[in-house]
Structure 1
């Protein structure tokens, strides 16, 4: 029973997450030769304040880019 975990920034729509679940499940089932019902997918959503890129939070980067 494969368990796939993805960490993403908060802000995706429920439709995007449903599509992600469906596609990841399909690829895992085909690649690992298991039934889709055996695949587990977990999304861990992180707020932009807790996501760091190059020493700056994603929230700070977005705020800086909005000013420019």
Structure 2
């Protein structure tokens, strides 16, 4: 069973995260021929204060 782990900053709507999960699932299914029912997608949200870019936190 394919598993995609996606890490994003907090703040996106439930609708956008649902769309992300749907689109990634379809892309994986189509690209490797896995039945979509077997595709797993894990979305992990990180607070901006815990996300560093260029040595500084985003939040």
The two structures have a TM-score, normalised by structure 1, of: 0.85
Deviation at 1:17, TM superposition (A): 0.2
Kindly tell me the number of residue pairs found equivalent between the two proteins: 59
Higher RCO, 1 or 2 (CA under 8 Å, sep at least 6)?
A: 2
Flag structure 1 segments of 5+ consecutive residues without an equivalent: 60-68
Select the structure that is richer in strand.
Answer: 2
Select the structure that is richer in helix.
Answer: 1
The two structures have a TM-score, normalised by structure 2, of: 0.97
* Runs (4+) off by over 2 Å: none
Alignment of 1:15-26 (within 5 A): 15-26=15-26
Work out the CA distance in 1 between the residues paired with 2:46 and 2:2. 23
For the residue of structure 1 that corresponds to 2:31, the secondary structure is: helix
Deviation at 1:7, TM superposition (A): 0.5
For the residue of structure 1 that corresponds to 2:34, the secondary structure is: coil
Work out the CA distance in 1 between the residues paired with 2:58 and 2:18. 24
Work out the CA distance in 2 between the residues paired with 1:36 and 1:42. 15
